[in-house]
Each structure stands twice: as C-alpha cells, then as structure tokens.
Structure 1
C-alpha cells in the first residue's frame, strides 16, 4: 500500500478553503499545503497580526479574517462576512483548538472553554456556512478529533464540567464532542442527499505550540513535561497529514476517520483510525446535536 504524502494532494486551483487556527501548528501546515497546490485559502484566526505574518510566510492566494471560536458573536460576524465575499466554499477545516491547564475557564457565552472553542464554536460555524458549502460541487467539512476522545465520556448532566473539574478530562470531552458532532453531521448530510461531506481526522501525538503554552505556568514540572513531549511527539508537518488527506483525497468518503497508523495511532503513515464506541453511537450523536443546537442557537439547514 502506498504511503500517502503531500505529493498526493491534487490540484486545488479554483477551490476556496477555510482553515481555522491557521496561523500556527497543524493549521499553518494545512493552509500552506493547500495554498501551494493553488487553493484560495482563508486563514480564520483569533490573532490577526499573527495571521497576517502567516499569510506572508505562506504566499499565494491567502486572506486573513478574524475569528474567535469562543465567542458566538465572532462566529456569526465571521460567517456573515465570508458568505458575503464568497458565493461558494469548497472546504472547511475545523482545525483550531485550545489545550488548557489550571482552573476552569469559560467563554464569552459562559461555556466551558475547551467545549466552547473545540466543539461548539465549530458546530455553529459549520451550520452558518452550510448553504455556502452546498453551493460548491463537492464541498467537504473536516473536523479535527484526538486520540483522547477514546477514553473520554460525555456527561449530559454536566456538559460544562462544572463539577469536579479537571482540565485534561474537559479537553478529552471536547474532542469526543467534536468527533460525535462530525459523525452526526455526516449522517444528516447523507439523509438529506446533500453534496457536502463530513470527514474526521486526528494527528496522533504532535508537537505544536498548544502544549508548551498549556504547561508554561506549571514551573519546573511543566518544563520537564514539555521536554519529554519533544521526544514522544512527531513534528507538525507529519501530524497534519491525516487532516490534509481528509481534506483533499478524492477517494475519501463522508464519515471516514483518518489518523496515524503506528504506536497506538500516535504517529506514522495515515490510515483509517478507530473510533470509540461512544463516539460512533448514533443515539449519542442525536442527543449531543440537540444540545449543541440549543446552546449555540444555530440550526443546520
């Protein structure tokens, strides 16, 4: 079997791609490769100064737009501007995320910050852009999961992790929620005969700027853990391969879940990854979809 690399990315000229969190890490690699193949790429970033620098580094046909996924007002503003500027969108890569340590934090809308940024913000964004995606002939939504989803569990009585908060648990739940919603989106798109497909990917264990920032305030222990991560993780250009394949491989169908193939899916060539039983449960998908719709006020047409 041929190992999939960026050399397999087909020509992207004429396509518009939106990548959230595209100014660094996995998002920057993804945006760079898409632009290198000719796509018009929109960098959807919270820090527009960093986004403009990333755009200069990438080159090509790249725009920068402000987007704070932890604010539903920001998500709505971004979506309105994007749909006004673009009659169709071919690709939405829901890449942005936060990894936090320390005490529980909340978003502008009062949601636990991991869930708000990693799952609910992207859920709302996808719903607001769905008509524009459907205007493209073969549009695709890619949601970024994590191997942490496999050991996570959704507590529907405490979705905001208000009781017994642990940052690592909250992060895992947010990535499980992302996975559940991506799969439920696929079911709903299929049921309505939509031309849009929903695909998922995870990067294994990858070195980005998220983990060092998360450990930065943990003193000597945090620095030791960050150094250990340099040995145990793969570089971002390898970690981005699953989401790049999910975004561009013409043979990938809706509902597929891609990730690294070696060492318990922590690294290695891209292959089909394993879902947890809870992530793949349609009943969980329906229940979380209803909760996300109520929390965000965004219904997917």
Structure 2
C-alpha cells in the first residue's frame, strides 16, 4: 500500500463503485462479515451472504436490500462446502471471513478440530472449489493472534497433543496467513491475474468474543467496551483488501494504530512463521489430503 493510502485514512467512502460485481462473504450474518456486506451493497455490489445460520442471514439481508442474497454454507461440513460451491456460477471477490475463536475442543462433521477445520480447512476447500470462477481476488481473514500459533503438521487436529483453545485458535489464524501467502505464490507462478490477500480487524467489538464458553467471555466483554473499535472500523481492512485497486497480492492489511489494534487500513507485518515457505507447502499438501480438494491453476 502506498504512503498516500495510509495517510488519507481510507474509509468506506473510498470503496470504488461495485456495480456489476459479485462478492461472497462467509459468515456475513453478524459481526465483521455483516458490516462488510452492508458496505459492499451500499456500493452497489451483489453480495452473497454465505451463512451456516440462514435464518440470521436472512434477517440481516432483509435490512440490507435487494443487493444481498443468502445461501447456506457450513464451513465445518465439507459436504456443505461442496454443495455451496457447486451452485456458484461466477464471483469477482471471495472474502473468507467466517471463523470461530477459542472454543472448547470439539470436532467438525469431518472429524477435524473445530477451529482449524472451520477457519482454515473449510475456507481452503471453498477457495479451491471456486477458484476457476473467481475473477479478481481472494481475501482471507487472519488475526494478530497468529503470533502465538504454531502449525502441528504431524497432529493438526489435536488427536495426540494437549488441546488449549487459544493456541489452537492461533494455529488456525497462522494457517490462514500461510494459505493466503502460498495461494498468491501459486497464482503468480501460474500467471493468473487473481490476487490473494490477507487481512485482520485489529481488536474489534463483535459477538465472536462471547462464544469461548469460558471466563474470557466476561473479560473480552469489558475489552469490547473499553479498548475495542467498532465492528464498522474492524471491517475496513477486509473491505480495502477486497476492493481497492491499490491493494496488491500477498499483502496483509490491518489497522494503522498502535499495535495494529485500531485505526484505518494499512499494510501490516506478520511474523516469521507466517512467511515459512516450506511449512506453507507442507500445510497446503496436508490440506489437500484432508479436504480432498486439489487446486488446479
């Protein structure tokens, strides 16, 4: 991102007209996904709200207007991912926004640990199944919490090691970055015009912080009131990554404030682990094996 983009404090008003463009936003029935969907429809995009809970999705879509469409997608169930992808004709932008955070140990329909299964493997499969119909870019949401993550390449799903909800979340968010960067490398190698970017919201107040089923729900409820920025601001990095002509493949977009916790979109740095090309390749191969989705460039 150029210095001008940072200094001008990019906002929703800077989103170019999206008329004629279709954007899929996973998890758009609440939080950041909902805010992104609303902003995109206001800029004339046709937005597919890809939601596990279609009742909540339709309630949101009804308040957005004719530019919003709801389709069922459960990222914790690969059969749902395949059904969703099969019904998509074309899409300009895919925003891999949905996620779960620091939940107790449980499994997806396919037997994956819930956080890596939903946050990474579900989106990995979705992107691969849609790739030949994506015209412009893929935006994958990560988090600053990627910094505490490590990829257990020999035990990705915590079948043999001790499960801790926050380190498992960190693993899934690190996986999001490894995937986004590796996807960009592979797209470039294939000569594809499609771009892959990553983004994160900083510390934004959403209902994600109320589902850890632990005392942290209470702690983060206080943080949401005292420290966090509003969800509308937290959605700006993914909106910039999804719409700005200046956004470049391989970038990690997040807030420009202290600690990248608040503020307007700018390029952020991710840690050394997220840039490990060898680990990215291993994770990619394992993800293809686990999901049964092989990418064709």
TM-score range (shorter-chain normalised) is over 0.9
Aligned to 1:213: 211
TM normalised by structure 1 equals 0.93
Cα distance, 1:222 vs structure 2: 4.1
Question: Quick one: which of 155, 159, 176 aligns to 1:158?
Answer: 155
TM-aligned CA distance change 1:152 to 1:189, over 3 Å: same
Instruction: Tell me how far apart the structure 1 counterparts of residues 238 and 66 of structure 2 sit (CA, whole Å).
Output: 21
Aligned to 1:4: 10
TM normalised by structure 2 equals 0.94
Contact 1:4–1:270 under 8 Å retained in 2? yes
Please tell me whether residue 232 in structure 1 is matched to residue 227 in structure 2: yes
Note the residue ranges of structure 2 that are not aligned, 5 or more in a row.
Answer: 1-6
Question: Quick one: which of 137, 140, 164 aligns to 1:140?
Answer: 137
Aligned to 1:114: 115
Q: Supply the RMSD in Å over aligned alpha carbons.
A: 1.2
Contact 1:9–1:249 under 8 Å retained in 2? yes
Contact 1:38–1:60 under 8 Å retained in 2? no
Q: How many equivalent pairs are there?
A: 289
Cα distance, 1:150 vs structure 2: 1.6
Please tell me whether residue 56 in structure 1 is matched to residue 62 in structure 2: yes
Instruction: Tell me how far apart the structure 2 counterparts of residues 44 and 222 of structure 1 sit (CA, whole Å).
Output: 26
Instruction: Tell me how far apart the structure 2 counterparts of residues 252 and 9 of structure 1 sit (CA, whole Å).
Output: 12
TM-aligned CA distance change 1:192 to 1:222, over 3 Å: closer
Provide, for residues 266-293 of structure 1, a one-character-per-residue CA deviation record: whole Å limited to 9, x for no partner.
1112111111101012111111100101
TM-aligned CA distance change 1:155 to 1:224, over 3 Å: closer
Contact 2:29–2:56 under 8 Å retained in 1? yes
Aligned to 2:269: 274
Instruction: Tell me how far apart the structure 1 counterparts of residues 123 and 205 of structure 2 sit (CA, whole Å).
Output: 23
